[in-house]
Each structure stands twice: as C-alpha cells, then as structure tokens.
C-alpha cells in the first residue's frame, strides 16, 4: 500500500457520501478531520463517538477529529473535500474562511452544477476540483450510513489556472486507494477513484440523469421504478430527456452512448426500490437541489434561446410541494 500523506484531509458535509469518504480515508491511513457546522452537531457527534458505515455484513466505525468554526486551528486547511448539499456550499465553507489557505486544494463532490463557479468567485486563489460519483449511500441517522452500491468516482480540475492533464500529487495519493479483488465483503469501505481530463462530461451525464429522474419522483412521491410506467410521469420523463439532450448538444457535451432516455430507464429499473435524494429531502421537509440541477439546465438553455418548458414546469411543481 502506498504510504499515506502526513497532511490531513478536512471533510465539510458529513452526510452519506462524506461519511463514506471519512471511513475509507481513515482506514487507508489518511488523517481525517470533520468540519461540523455548529456546537449542536459537534455534541451529537461526540455522543455517538464516531462515524459508522455499514456495507453488506461489514461494519466500519472510525473516530475522526471533529471541529466547529469557533475552534482554533494550529495550521491552515489545505486539502478540503466538500460533500454538503449544493445549495449550502458557500454557507458551509465560508465560516471556515479564516482557517483556509488561500491556495487550498478543494474538491467539490456534490450533485448539480454551478457551485464551483460561485466558490471560485468567493475564493479566487483556491485550486478547485470537481468530482462526480456513482457510489450509492444513504443515512440511517446522523453519522450512521449504509453503502447501497459500489461505483466509481471521477475527479478533474475546474479552476482555469489548473492543467486538466496534470494530476497533482495529492490526487495521486487518492488514486492509490484501490479495492482489492479478494474478500471485498470483509473489508472496510473502499473507493474506486479515477482522474478525468474533461470532468465536465461525466458531471453533465450525471446531471442529466438526475434532472430527468429526481424531480419527477419527488413530484409524484414515488420510488424510482414506479416512474417507468407512471401515466403522468413517463411522458414528462421523455420530454425532459429531449430538452436536456438539446442543451447538452448546444454546449458540445458528448451524448450518452445509449441515449439519455434508454440510460434513464435502465437506471430506474436497476434502482427500482430506491428513493431519490430529492424525494427523501422533500419528504423530510429539507430544501431540494432543484436549483443546481433542473434550474441550471434552464439557465444553460437560455444562453441558446431554448425554452426548456418541461424543466420550468418541474421547478414550479417542486416549489409548490417541497421546501424551496
């Protein structure tokens, strides 16, 4: 195994994916520090004693250091992984501004798009990277996560001053965290990470899938599989696919090999019993990520005078039935 680095990774947003990464990094010898939002969340974490991740029959429990913005840090934060909800990006990061190195390396691992641009404006000297994952995980409770499926995580550079083909050393260390082929059920959570020289493409592909599935399952309050033959939802799914593909084509994004509709239907079948994150947020009374997903597509379509009427209707419906 490659020797882990001496510097710590700070994780902001310790939900399902943040907890999964905290566990995986810690088990591979990385130093991990959790950045929590306030004293109440810190007290909750201290009461639980750590982060639990269940994967199959394996239970991982790690005790990572946890801080709140009022804590004094001896050194600047130089390596930051952000896994909070897209709409909370600046709100979650800026309380740590005084502790962040100006040239910090920041990886955004979130749904939706548009957050990196806003963060770069707020932190112009920061080195920002974007990541997108097909890992599946859901929260049983605070700092208690179930890994629902193993996927792949792509990481690529976002900041204009970074070279897309050049893999920085701190990313090379992450790429060394590879699953073994033997006894995977008896191992702590592992990550399958790869560098992508054009991160915009996989990000758009995931955005496209989320844009045609998540909002509709929240609107119709249904599990993924129920959307396939839903009398109102299925025609809207098809319309959203057409609109999204039109926007992607104008932006020069490579289309999905099987097309968006076939890909979406395949994913709906594979995850038939799952509830989308947007449906879960809506049912829990939390804000949804529709602004960073469907509304982002509307904004990009407007640059080319594309109406995106289906996406606009989705946003209106969600604002009516869910927390905005």
Catalytic residue numbers, as ranges: 206
Whether the CB-CB separation of 286 and 323 falls below 8 Å is answered with yes
What burial class does residue 320 get, using C-beta atoms within 10 Å of its C-beta: 0-12 exposed, 13-18 middle, 19+ buried? Answer: exposed
The CA distances from residue 132 to 20, 110, 152, 160, 261, in Å, are: 14, 7, 8, 19, 20
**How many CA atoms within 13 Å lie on the side-chain side of 262?**
5
Please give the structure tokens belonging to residue 140.
């049983």
Tally of CB atoms within 10 A around 181:
6
Whether the CB-CB separation of 23 and 51 falls below 8 Å is answered with yes
Q: Which residues on neighbouring strands pair with residue 12, listed in sequence order?
A: 35, 82
Q: How far apart are the first and last CA of the chain?
A: 46
Name the residue among 220, 178, 187, 216 with its Cα closest to residue 311.
216
Tally of CB atoms within 10 A around 151:
14
- 3-class secondary structure, 43: helix
Q: For the chain, how big is the Rg over CA atoms in Å?
A: 19
**How many CA atoms within 13 Å lie on the side-chain side of 305?**
0
């Amino acid at each position: 195994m490659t020797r882990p680095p001496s510097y710590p990774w700070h994780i902001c947003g310790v939900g399902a994916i943040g907890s999964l990464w905290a566990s995986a990094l810690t088990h591979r010898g990385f130093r991990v520090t959790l950045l929590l939002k306030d004293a109440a969340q810190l007290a909750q974490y201290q009461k639980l004693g750590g982060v639990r991740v269940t994967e199959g029959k394996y239970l991982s429990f790690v005790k990572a250091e946890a801080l709140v913005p009022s804590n004094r840090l001896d050194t600047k934060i130089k390596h930051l992984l952000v896994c909070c909800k897209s709409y909370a990006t600046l709100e979650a990061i800026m309380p740590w501004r005084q502790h962040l190195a100006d040239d910090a390396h920041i990886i955004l691992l979130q749904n939706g798009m548009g957050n990196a641009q806003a963060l770069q404006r707020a932190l112009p000297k920061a080195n920002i990277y974007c990541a997108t994952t097909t890992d599946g995980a859901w929260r049983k409770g605070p700092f208690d996560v179930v890994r629902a499926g193993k996927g792949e995580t792509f990481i690529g550079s976002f900041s204009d001053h970074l070279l897309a083909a050049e893999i920085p050393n701190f990313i090379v260390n992450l790429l060394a965290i590879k699953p073994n082929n033997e006894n995977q059920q008896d191992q702590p959570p592992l990550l399958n990470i790869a560098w992508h020289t054009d991160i915009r493409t996989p990000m758009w592909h995931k955005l496209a899938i989320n844009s045609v599935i998540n909002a509709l399952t929240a609107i119709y309050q249904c599990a993924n599989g129920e959307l396939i033959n839903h009398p109102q939802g299925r025609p809207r799914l098809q319309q959203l696919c057409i609109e999204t593909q039109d926007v992607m084509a104008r932006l020069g994004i490579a289309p999905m090999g099987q097309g968006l509709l076939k890909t979406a239907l395949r994913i709906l079948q594979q995850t038939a019993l799952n509830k989308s994150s947007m449906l879960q947020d809506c049912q829990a009374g939390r804000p949804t990520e529709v602004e960073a997903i469907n509304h982002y597509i509307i904004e990009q379509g407007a640059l080319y005078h594309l109406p995106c009427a289906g996406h606009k209707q989705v946003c209106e419906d969600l604002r009516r039935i869910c927390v905005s």
